[in-house]
Structure 1
Amino acid sequence: MEICNFLFHEADLLDTGAFREWLSLMTDDLVYRIPLRVTKEVGQGFGFLDSMSHMDDTFYTLEKRVHRLESEYAWAEIPPSRTRHFVSNIRVRPGGNDSEVQVDSNLLFYRSRGDSPAFDILSGKRQDVLRWVDGNWKLAKRTVLLDQTTLATHNLSFFM
Protein backbone atom coordinates (compact mmCIF):
# COMPACT_ATOMS: atom_id res chain seq x y z
CA MET A 1 0.00 0.00 0.00
CA GLU A 2 2.96 2.34 0.70
CA ILE A 3 4.11 2.00 -2.90
CA CYS A 4 0.63 2.73 -4.28
CA ASN A 5 0.39 5.81 -2.08
CA PHE A 6 3.82 6.96 -3.26
CA LEU A 7 2.78 6.68 -6.93
CA PHE A 8 -0.57 8.41 -6.35
CA HIS A 9 1.13 11.22 -4.41
CA GLU A 10 3.68 11.63 -7.19
CA ALA A 11 0.89 11.84 -9.80
CA ASP A 12 -0.89 14.49 -7.74
CA LEU A 13 2.29 16.58 -7.46
CA LEU A 14 2.77 16.46 -11.22
CA ASP A 15 -0.89 17.30 -11.92
CA THR A 16 -0.82 20.29 -9.58
CA GLY A 17 2.49 21.62 -10.93
CA ALA A 18 4.40 21.05 -7.68
CA PHE A 19 7.55 20.17 -9.59
CA ARG A 20 10.06 21.14 -6.85
CA GLU A 21 8.26 18.88 -4.38
CA TRP A 22 8.15 16.17 -7.06
CA LEU A 23 11.95 16.40 -7.40
CA SER A 24 12.26 15.75 -3.66
CA LEU A 25 10.91 12.24 -4.35
CA MET A 26 13.98 11.40 -6.48
CA THR A 27 17.38 9.98 -5.59
CA ASP A 28 20.54 11.86 -6.58
CA ASP A 29 21.52 9.04 -8.95
CA LEU A 30 18.15 8.97 -10.74
CA VAL A 31 17.88 7.61 -14.30
CA TYR A 32 14.70 8.73 -16.11
CA ARG A 33 14.16 7.38 -19.64
CA ILE A 34 11.50 7.26 -22.31
CA PRO A 35 13.07 5.12 -25.04
CA LEU A 36 11.95 5.44 -28.64
CA ARG A 37 9.52 2.76 -29.78
CA VAL A 38 9.73 1.28 -33.27
CA THR A 39 7.46 -1.18 -35.04
CA LYS A 40 8.95 -4.64 -35.48
CA GLU A 41 7.82 -7.88 -37.05
CA VAL A 42 6.18 -10.55 -34.91
CA GLY A 43 8.77 -12.38 -32.84
CA GLN A 44 11.31 -9.53 -33.07
CA GLY A 45 10.62 -8.15 -29.60
CA PHE A 46 8.62 -5.17 -28.34
CA GLY A 47 10.53 -2.62 -30.39
CA PHE A 48 12.29 -0.21 -28.03
CA LEU A 49 15.64 1.29 -28.92
CA ASP A 50 18.35 1.52 -26.25
CA SER A 51 20.27 4.03 -28.34
CA MET A 52 17.49 6.62 -28.87
CA SER A 53 15.05 8.22 -26.43
CA HIS A 54 12.40 10.88 -26.18
CA MET A 55 13.91 11.60 -22.75
CA ASP A 56 17.14 10.35 -21.21
CA ASP A 57 17.59 12.33 -18.01
CA THR A 58 19.33 12.31 -14.67
CA PHE A 59 18.39 14.14 -11.48
CA TYR A 60 20.57 17.04 -12.65
CA THR A 61 18.86 17.39 -16.03
CA LEU A 62 15.37 17.00 -14.54
CA GLU A 63 16.25 19.73 -12.05
CA LYS A 64 17.26 21.95 -14.99
CA ARG A 65 13.94 21.20 -16.73
CA VAL A 66 12.03 22.15 -13.58
CA HIS A 67 14.09 25.32 -13.21
CA ARG A 68 13.19 26.29 -16.78
CA LEU A 69 9.48 25.59 -16.14
CA GLU A 70 9.66 27.97 -13.18
CA SER A 71 11.18 30.71 -15.34
CA GLU A 72 9.56 33.12 -17.78
CA TYR A 73 11.32 31.33 -20.66
CA ALA A 74 9.24 28.14 -20.72
CA TRP A 75 7.24 29.35 -23.71
CA ALA A 76 5.91 25.86 -24.44
CA GLU A 77 4.14 26.03 -21.08
CA ILE A 78 2.56 29.50 -21.29
CA PRO A 79 -0.21 29.01 -20.39
CA PRO A 80 0.65 25.96 -18.27
CA SER A 81 -0.66 22.58 -19.37
CA ARG A 82 -3.43 20.92 -17.41
CA THR A 83 -2.43 17.30 -16.88
CA ARG A 84 -3.88 14.18 -15.34
CA HIS A 85 -1.87 11.04 -14.60
CA PHE A 86 -3.91 7.85 -14.24
CA VAL A 87 -1.74 5.16 -12.62
CA SER A 88 -3.08 1.59 -12.49
CA ASN A 89 -2.16 -2.10 -12.50
CA ILE A 90 0.60 -1.54 -9.95
CA ARG A 91 2.81 -4.60 -9.42
CA VAL A 92 5.59 -4.66 -6.81
CA ARG A 93 8.41 -7.20 -6.52
CA PRO A 94 11.76 -7.33 -4.73
CA GLY A 95 14.52 -5.14 -6.13
CA GLY A 96 18.23 -5.58 -6.68
CA ASN A 97 18.98 -5.19 -2.96
CA ASP A 98 17.15 -5.04 0.38
CA SER A 99 16.47 -1.30 0.14
CA GLU A 100 14.87 -1.40 -3.34
CA VAL A 101 11.68 -2.63 -4.97
CA GLN A 102 10.80 -2.91 -8.65
CA VAL A 103 7.43 -1.44 -9.53
CA ASP A 104 5.57 -1.85 -12.80
CA SER A 105 2.50 0.26 -13.47
CA ASN A 106 0.34 1.34 -16.35
CA LEU A 107 -0.02 5.03 -17.10
CA LEU A 108 -2.64 6.97 -18.98
CA PHE A 109 -1.59 10.61 -19.38
CA TYR A 110 -3.95 13.42 -20.43
CA ARG A 111 -2.94 17.00 -21.24
CA SER A 112 -4.84 20.06 -22.41
CA ARG A 113 -3.75 23.68 -22.79
CA GLY A 114 -5.48 27.02 -22.74
CA ASP A 115 -8.95 27.16 -24.31
CA SER A 116 -8.08 24.79 -27.14
CA PRO A 117 -10.37 21.78 -27.61
CA ALA A 118 -7.29 19.76 -28.64
CA PHE A 119 -5.72 17.41 -26.10
CA ASP A 120 -2.99 14.80 -25.83
CA ILE A 121 -3.42 11.28 -24.55
CA LEU A 122 -0.39 9.03 -24.08
CA SER A 123 -0.40 5.55 -22.62
CA GLY A 124 2.28 3.16 -21.59
CA LYS A 125 3.96 1.03 -19.00
CA ARG A 126 6.31 2.42 -16.36
CA GLN A 127 9.13 0.34 -14.94
CA ASP A 128 10.37 1.95 -11.73
CA VAL A 129 12.93 1.20 -9.08
CA LEU A 130 12.05 2.71 -5.71
CA ARG A 131 14.68 2.92 -2.99
CA TRP A 132 14.16 3.29 0.77
CA VAL A 133 16.24 6.34 1.78
CA ASP A 134 16.18 7.92 5.24
CA GLY A 135 12.73 6.57 6.07
CA ASN A 136 11.10 7.43 2.73
CA TRP A 137 10.62 5.83 -0.66
CA LYS A 138 12.43 7.63 -3.49
CA LEU A 139 12.41 7.08 -7.22
CA ALA A 140 15.83 5.80 -8.34
CA LYS A 141 14.98 4.74 -11.89
CA ARG A 142 12.07 5.15 -14.28
CA THR A 143 11.65 3.77 -17.76
CA VAL A 144 8.44 4.73 -19.56
CA LEU A 145 7.52 2.39 -22.41
CA LEU A 146 4.99 4.33 -24.47
CA ASP A 147 2.46 2.49 -26.61
CA GLN A 148 2.77 5.01 -29.45
CA THR A 149 5.60 4.96 -31.98
CA THR A 150 4.84 8.49 -33.20
CA LEU A 151 3.93 11.11 -30.62
CA ALA A 152 1.29 13.58 -31.79
CA THR A 153 2.04 15.99 -28.95
CA HIS A 154 3.59 19.33 -29.86
CA ASN A 155 6.30 19.12 -27.19
CA LEU A 156 7.56 17.03 -24.29
CA SER A 157 7.48 19.70 -21.60
CA PHE A 158 5.81 17.38 -19.11
CA PHE A 159 6.86 14.46 -16.93
CA MET A 160 5.43 10.96 -16.94
Structure 2
Amino acid sequence: MTVVALTRQNVVDFLYKEAKLLDEWKLKEWAALFTDDGTYKVPPIGKPEASPTESLFYVHDNRSRLQERAERLLKKEAHVEYPHSTTLRNYHNILVSGVESDVITVECNFTTHRTKREVLDTFVGKHKYEIVQQNGELAIKSKKVILHLDSLRPHGKISLIL
Protein backbone atom coordinates (compact mmCIF):
# COMPACT_ATOMS: atom_id res chain seq x y z
CA MET A 1 0.00 0.00 0.00
CA THR A 2 1.49 3.32 -1.09
CA VAL A 3 1.16 6.08 1.49
CA VAL A 4 1.95 9.61 0.37
CA ALA A 5 2.56 12.45 2.83
CA LEU A 6 -0.52 14.64 2.75
CA THR A 7 -1.25 18.24 3.54
CA ARG A 8 -4.51 19.90 4.51
CA GLN A 9 -4.60 21.40 1.02
CA ASN A 10 -4.52 17.91 -0.56
CA VAL A 11 -7.66 17.04 1.40
CA VAL A 12 -9.40 20.33 0.55
CA ASP A 13 -8.57 19.85 -3.15
CA PHE A 14 -10.06 16.34 -2.95
CA LEU A 15 -13.31 17.77 -1.57
CA TYR A 16 -13.43 20.36 -4.33
CA LYS A 17 -12.88 17.57 -6.87
CA GLU A 18 -15.85 15.72 -5.35
CA ALA A 19 -18.05 18.82 -5.64
CA LYS A 20 -17.01 19.34 -9.26
CA LEU A 21 -17.81 15.74 -10.20
CA LEU A 22 -21.26 16.06 -8.65
CA ASP A 23 -21.98 19.41 -10.33
CA GLU A 24 -20.94 17.96 -13.68
CA TRP A 25 -23.14 14.86 -13.13
CA LYS A 26 -20.12 12.55 -13.30
CA LEU A 27 -21.80 10.29 -10.79
CA LYS A 28 -19.97 7.08 -11.68
CA GLU A 29 -16.65 8.86 -11.15
CA TRP A 30 -18.00 10.28 -7.89
CA ALA A 31 -19.03 6.83 -6.64
CA ALA A 32 -15.53 5.60 -7.49
CA LEU A 33 -14.14 8.04 -4.89
CA PHE A 34 -15.49 5.71 -2.17
CA THR A 35 -13.70 2.72 -0.68
CA ASP A 36 -15.20 -0.74 -1.21
CA ASP A 37 -16.64 -0.57 2.32
CA GLY A 38 -17.59 3.10 1.96
CA THR A 39 -20.90 4.53 3.15
CA TYR A 40 -23.04 7.55 2.27
CA LYS A 41 -25.71 8.61 4.76
CA VAL A 42 -28.30 11.36 5.02
CA PRO A 43 -30.07 11.06 8.40
CA PRO A 44 -33.48 12.60 9.11
CA ILE A 45 -33.66 16.37 9.54
CA GLY A 46 -33.11 17.34 13.17
CA LYS A 47 -31.71 13.91 14.11
CA PRO A 48 -28.07 13.87 13.01
CA GLU A 49 -27.13 11.07 15.43
CA ALA A 50 -30.14 8.88 14.59
CA SER A 51 -29.65 5.15 14.23
CA PRO A 52 -30.60 3.67 10.83
CA THR A 53 -32.19 0.74 12.68
CA GLU A 54 -34.56 3.06 14.55
CA SER A 55 -35.09 5.98 12.16
CA LEU A 56 -35.88 6.39 8.48
CA PHE A 57 -32.85 7.88 6.72
CA TYR A 58 -33.19 9.81 3.46
CA VAL A 59 -30.17 7.84 2.25
CA HIS A 60 -28.22 5.01 3.86
CA ASP A 61 -26.08 3.44 1.13
CA ASN A 62 -23.18 1.06 1.18
CA ARG A 63 -20.72 1.08 -1.74
CA SER A 64 -22.74 -1.17 -4.05
CA ARG A 65 -26.00 0.74 -3.43
CA LEU A 66 -24.10 3.97 -4.01
CA GLN A 67 -22.94 2.73 -7.41
CA GLU A 68 -26.51 1.63 -8.26
CA ARG A 69 -27.86 5.05 -7.22
CA ALA A 70 -25.32 6.83 -9.43
CA GLU A 71 -26.10 4.64 -12.44
CA ARG A 72 -29.88 4.96 -11.95
CA LEU A 73 -29.76 8.77 -11.72
CA LEU A 74 -27.92 8.94 -15.03
CA LYS A 75 -30.66 7.11 -16.94
CA LYS A 76 -33.50 8.82 -18.79
CA GLU A 77 -35.89 6.63 -16.81
CA ALA A 78 -34.99 8.60 -13.66
CA HIS A 79 -37.70 11.11 -14.52
CA VAL A 80 -37.22 13.25 -11.44
CA GLU A 81 -33.66 14.04 -12.59
CA TYR A 82 -33.99 13.92 -16.36
CA PRO A 83 -33.04 16.30 -17.71
CA HIS A 84 -30.58 16.73 -14.86
CA SER A 85 -30.86 19.55 -12.37
CA THR A 86 -28.26 22.26 -12.56
CA THR A 87 -26.35 22.38 -9.30
CA LEU A 88 -23.66 24.49 -7.72
CA ARG A 89 -21.96 23.24 -4.56
CA ASN A 90 -19.90 25.27 -2.13
CA TYR A 91 -17.92 23.80 0.76
CA HIS A 92 -16.86 26.20 3.50
CA ASN A 93 -15.41 26.26 7.02
CA ILE A 94 -13.44 23.11 6.22
CA LEU A 95 -11.87 21.55 9.31
CA VAL A 96 -9.36 18.77 8.64
CA SER A 97 -8.04 16.54 11.44
CA GLY A 98 -5.59 13.67 11.43
CA VAL A 99 -3.77 14.33 8.15
CA GLU A 100 -0.92 12.12 9.39
CA SER A 101 -3.18 9.30 10.68
CA ASP A 102 -4.76 6.36 8.87
CA VAL A 103 -8.21 8.00 8.86
CA ILE A 104 -8.54 11.71 8.13
CA THR A 105 -11.67 13.33 9.54
CA VAL A 106 -13.20 16.33 7.85
CA GLU A 107 -16.15 18.50 8.75
CA CYS A 108 -17.37 21.29 6.55
CA ASN A 109 -20.44 23.37 5.99
CA PHE A 110 -22.02 23.10 2.57
CA THR A 111 -24.49 24.92 0.39
CA THR A 112 -25.94 23.18 -2.63
CA HIS A 113 -28.02 25.28 -5.01
CA ARG A 114 -30.24 23.33 -7.38
CA THR A 115 -32.32 24.72 -10.20
CA LYS A 116 -34.83 22.65 -12.12
CA ARG A 117 -37.96 23.61 -14.02
CA GLU A 118 -37.54 27.27 -13.02
CA VAL A 119 -37.42 26.47 -9.30
CA LEU A 120 -34.37 27.19 -7.17
CA ASP A 121 -33.83 25.03 -4.09
CA THR A 122 -31.02 25.52 -1.62
CA PHE A 123 -29.78 22.76 0.66
CA VAL A 124 -27.55 23.75 3.58
CA GLY A 125 -25.87 21.70 6.24
CA LYS A 126 -22.73 19.94 7.33
CA HIS A 127 -20.70 17.17 5.73
CA LYS A 128 -18.75 14.77 7.92
CA TYR A 129 -16.16 12.61 6.20
CA GLU A 130 -13.75 9.85 7.01
CA ILE A 131 -11.09 9.87 4.30
CA VAL A 132 -8.32 7.33 3.83
CA GLN A 133 -5.46 6.74 1.43
CA GLN A 134 -6.00 3.86 -0.97
CA ASN A 135 -3.44 2.95 -3.63
CA GLY A 136 -1.77 6.33 -3.22
CA GLU A 137 -5.04 8.24 -3.70
CA LEU A 138 -7.54 9.72 -1.28
CA ALA A 139 -10.83 7.84 -0.91
CA ILE A 140 -14.02 8.38 1.06
CA LYS A 141 -14.61 5.76 3.75
CA SER A 142 -17.75 7.50 4.97
CA LYS A 143 -19.73 10.60 4.16
CA LYS A 144 -22.58 11.82 6.34
CA VAL A 145 -24.75 14.72 5.21
CA ILE A 146 -26.50 16.57 8.04
CA LEU A 147 -29.17 18.85 6.64
CA HIS A 148 -29.78 22.14 8.48
CA LEU A 149 -33.26 22.72 7.16
CA ASP A 150 -36.72 22.95 8.71
CA SER A 151 -38.11 20.67 6.01
CA LEU A 152 -37.60 19.60 2.42
CA ARG A 153 -39.48 21.59 -0.15
CA PRO A 154 -41.23 21.58 -2.50
CA HIS A 155 -41.72 17.82 -2.80
CA GLY A 156 -40.35 16.43 0.46
CA LYS A 157 -37.65 14.25 -1.07
CA ILE A 158 -34.05 14.40 -2.14
CA SER A 159 -33.57 13.48 -5.78
CA LEU A 160 -29.90 14.39 -6.12
CA ILE A 161 -26.70 13.52 -4.34
CA LEU A 162 -25.80 16.08 -1.70
Shorter-chain TM-score tier: 0.7 to 0.9
Tell me the residue number matched to 2:159: 157
Shift of 1:153: 4.4
Q: Which has the higher strand share?
A: 1
Gaps of 5+ in 2: 1-8
Tell me the residue number matched to 2:74: 70
Shift of 1:150: 1.4
Identity of aligned pairs, percent? 27
Which of 54, 58, 61 is residue 54 of structure 1 equivalent to? Answer: 58
Q: Mean alpha-carbon deviation: is it higher for 138-147 or for 68-77?
A: 68-77
- Cα distance between partner residues in 2 of 1:30 and 1:47: 19
For 2:32, the aligned partner's letter is: S
Alignment of 1:38-117 (within 5 A): 38=46, 48-50=49-51, 51-94=55-98, 98-114=101-117, 116=118
Instruction: Tell whether the 8 Å contact from 1:37 to 1:49 is kept in structure 2 after alignment.
Output: no
- Cα distance between partner residues in 1 of 2:17 and 2:80: 25
Per-residue CA deviation, residues 111-132 of structure 1 (Å, 9 max, x unaligned), is 0014x1x211010011100010
- Shift of the 129–47 alpha-carbon distance from structure 1 to 2, 3 Å rule, reads closer
RMSD: 1.8
Runs of 4+ in 1 over 4 A off after TM superposition: none
Tell me the residue number matched to 1:25: 33
Instruction: Tell whether the 8 Å contact from 1:19 to 1:66 is kept in structure 2 after alignment.
Output: yes
Tell me the residue number matched to 2:140: 139
- Shift of the 63–119 alpha-carbon distance from structure 1 to 2, 3 Å rule, reads same
- Cα distance between partner residues in 2 of 1:139 and 1:108: 20
- Cα distance between partner residues in 1 of 2:27 and 2:90: 17
TM-score norm. by structure 1 comes to: 0.87
Gaps of 5+ in 1: 39-45
Instruction: Tell whether the 8 Å contact from 1:36 to 1:149 is kept in structure 2 after alignment.
Output: no
